[in-house]
Structure formats: C-alpha cells, structure tokens
Amino acid sequence: MKKIGVFTSGGDAPGMNAAVRAVVRTCIYNNIVPFGIFEGYKGLIEGDIKELSSRDVSNIIQRGGTILRSARCKEFHEKEGRQKAFDNIQKFNLDGIVAIGGDGTFTGAKIFNEEHNIPFIGIPGTIDNDLFGTDYCIGYDTALNTVIEAVDKIRDTASSHNRLFMVEVMGRDAGFIALRSGIGVGAEAILVPETPTLIEKLLEKLRNDRTQHKQSMIVIVAEGDETGGALKIAELVKNLCPEFDTKVTILGHIQRGGSPSALDRVLASRLGNAAVNALLEGKTNIMVGVLHRDVSYTPFEKAIKHHQKLNKDLLNLAEVLSYN
Ligand code: F6P
C-alpha cells in the first residue's frame, strides 16, 4: 500500500474536509503518498487526480463543504465509465481508494469492485444519516444543529403572530433529520417517510393544540414524507383549517453547509484514520463507522441495503412530549 486516493462524492456534508484531512495525515504518517481525486467519480473518470501534501489539508478541519469538491456522476453508472476510472487508477498507481459519501457512493464502489480488484473503503458522509453500520454519518450532527438554530428563529416569529409553520427539512427518503430536529425544537408534529401521515389525526391534534391556547405551532416535514412535503401539507391544512394562519419554510441547502460541529470533526477524524488503517490491514469493500463508540466495519452490501431504521423510542418520545 504505497499510494492511496481519496474522494468525496454525493451531497456534500460538513465534516468531509476533516475526514479528507485525517486520510491524508494518516497516509503521510505511514509513509503512504495520498492523492486527492476531485469531484468524486467524475474526477476518477477524467483523471482529475493530484498528490496531496500535509499542508494541502491545513486549516480545513473547521470548514464546511469539501476541498475535493463533489459531483453526481452518471457516467460511472456505465461500464465504460468505470473502465476509464480503472485505467486512471492504474495510471496513477493507486493501491487503494477511500470514498467519502453516501449510499450512492458505496453502491458505485461495490459495482466497481465486482469488475476491478481495487481495495475500496467507504466513509459515511451524508447529512441524511441513512447508512446501516454506524450510529452517525459525518455531517448529520451539524445539519441537526443548523435546523434547530433556524427553527428556533421561526418559533420566535410564530409565537409573535400566533402562526402555524410547516418546516421542510432534507433527508431524501429518510426521516432522521426530521425526527431528531423535531424533538430538539419541541415540534407539535413530525412527519417522516417511515410512518404513515394521517392527515385527520394531524388536524385534530393541531385544533386541540389551538384550544389549549398554544401561541405557536411548528410541524417538521421530512422532504420525503408521503404527503409530498411542506407545501403540499400546508395547502391541505389551509383548505381544511382556514382558521390557522399557516406559513411554510423550506430550509433547503443551508442544511448542507456550515462549520462542522465538534462531534462531526472528531467522528470524521476517527473515520479518516480508520479507513487508511483498514486498507493497511488488507480490508476492502467495507464502510468504516462508529457503533456504540467503537470503530465498526460493515460490508458495502449491508451498509446500503439495510438502511438504518428510525428509532422507535424517539418516535414515541416525540409523541409524548408534544402531547398538548
Ligand atoms: O443526500 C443529501 C441531500 O442533501 C438530500 O438530503 C437531498 O434530498 C439531496 O442531497 C439534494 O441533492 P442536490 O444537492 O443534488 O440537490
């Protein structure tokens, strides 16, 4: 293991830079030459690959985004694209690859490895937190704090005007951001894709909250909720409950930026280091993670297919604590 390539792929996440830094520094510590691959699989296919020095990753641990940039790469879905990637790996004599990303990233890595025998280690980097085999993905904690900070501000104005706000959060087809941020802001209701949204039950609760003289009401809506998101559910509420002054806020990509939290910085540093060590130990086709505080190894197949289940206790807690 003399040369290792690292890239970031899929939706960027706060903490990815800390992970890149840890990969580079661990390589150098072990006399391995690190190479940055820019814009994920696109960079592999186009040969946008450059040796990285220790100084290249100075002063980035605190920065959101990714210095290696990221991209969603359709060409990698094609065999020809993957062949080009392999040719570049050979050209740069890379002995192993560290891929920082989400399930799309690891799905690509798994398919690539069925065609070419290049050791690949994945680091879970997605605010969606929807990978199996780790308690947290890099970026999730920071995104939660961003949502909570934003919704606290919405709560201020909602209280001043006695309004109902539908706040949409990211998460793709998972409700992890919605569930924990909803609990963190004391939401009156949390709508997630993993459980059916019963409109009548929601309206009954909101009407009841109003009779209890609640000054403001916040409903956190996961973008993947079957109702179709905050705008759709707000339209429904406006038609069925015209008595409410209903507003919508879609937080969008603000959830992907910002300086990573302490948890994300330490998690990313641990996982970057663990990924290089896993390559040195001859591991491949696995995602490194942290489970109950210990570093864990999960085959890509399992990490992407057995998506984390929502914590039932937290779902119940949200119900109990929002009971008028
Ligand atoms: O996967 C991370 C994520 O932020 C999802 O939560 C969101 O649905 C998606 O990326 C948005 O993708 P893009 O940045 O390509 O619009």
Q: How far is the CA of 196 from the centre of ligand 1 (A)?
A: 22
Is 70 a pocket residue for ligand 1 (Cβ < 6 Å)? no
pLDDT of residue 72: 84
Give residue-wise pLDDT tens across range 4-27. 999 999 999 999 999 999 999 999
Give residue-wise pLDDT tens across range 264-294. 999 999 999 999 999 999 999 999 999 999 9
Q: How far is the CA of 302 from the centre of ligand 1 (A)?
A: 22
Give the domain extent around 147: 141-256
Whether residue 185 sits in one domain with residue 275: no
DSSP characters for 14-35?
Answer: TTHHHHHHHHHHHHHHTT-EEE
Whether residue 60 sits in one domain with residue 18: yes
Residue 174 lies in a domain: yes
Average pLDDT over residues 197-223: 92
Q: Mention every residue, 6+ apart, whose C-beta is less than 8 A from residue 250.
A: 167, 168, 229, 230, 231
pLDDT of residue 213 exceeding 90? no
Whether residue 168 sits in one domain with residue 52: no
- Chain length of the chain: 324
Strands 294-299 and 286-291: antiparallel
**Residue in this structure with the two tokens 């996961």, named with its chain if needed:** 222
Residue 310 lies in a domain: no
Give residue-wise pLDDT tens across range 140-187. 999 999 999 999 999 999 999 999 999 999 999 999 999 999 999 999
Bridge partners (DSSP) listed for residue 246? 164
Q: Are 271 and 131 in contact, with CB atoms under 8 Å apart?
A: no
C-alpha–C-alpha distance, residues 21 and 14, integer Å: 13
Look at residue 30 and give its three-state secondary structure: coil
pTM for the whole structure: 0.96
Burial 246-277 (b: 16+ CB within 10 A, else e): bbbbebeeebbbbebbebbbebbbbbbbbbbe
Q: Order the strands of the 217-222 sheet from edge to edge.
A: 189-191, 217-222, 164-169, 246-250
Q: Are 138 and 13 in contact, with CB atoms under 8 Å apart?
A: yes
| pLDDT interval class at 32 (50, 70, 90) | very high
Whether residue 172 sits in one domain with residue 224: yes
pLDDT of residue 84: 97
Which amino acid is it at 197? T
Q: What is the helix (H) or strand (E) element at residue 312, kind and residue range? A: helix 312-321
Q: Are 215 and 241 in contact, with CB atoms under 8 Å apart?
A: no
Ligand 1 nearest atom to the CA of residue 102, by list position: 1
Q: What is the mean pLDDT of the chain?
A: 96
Instruction: Give percent above pLDDT 70 in the chain.
Output: 100
Select from 9, 12, 127 the residue to mutate for testing ligand 1; criterion: most ligand atoms less than 8 Å from CB: 127
Ligand 1 nearest atom to the CA of residue 256, by list position: 4
pLDDT of residue 324 exceeding 80? no
Whether residue 156 sits in one domain with residue 24: no
Strands 217-222 and 49-51: unpaired
Whether residue 53 sits in one domain with residue 161: no
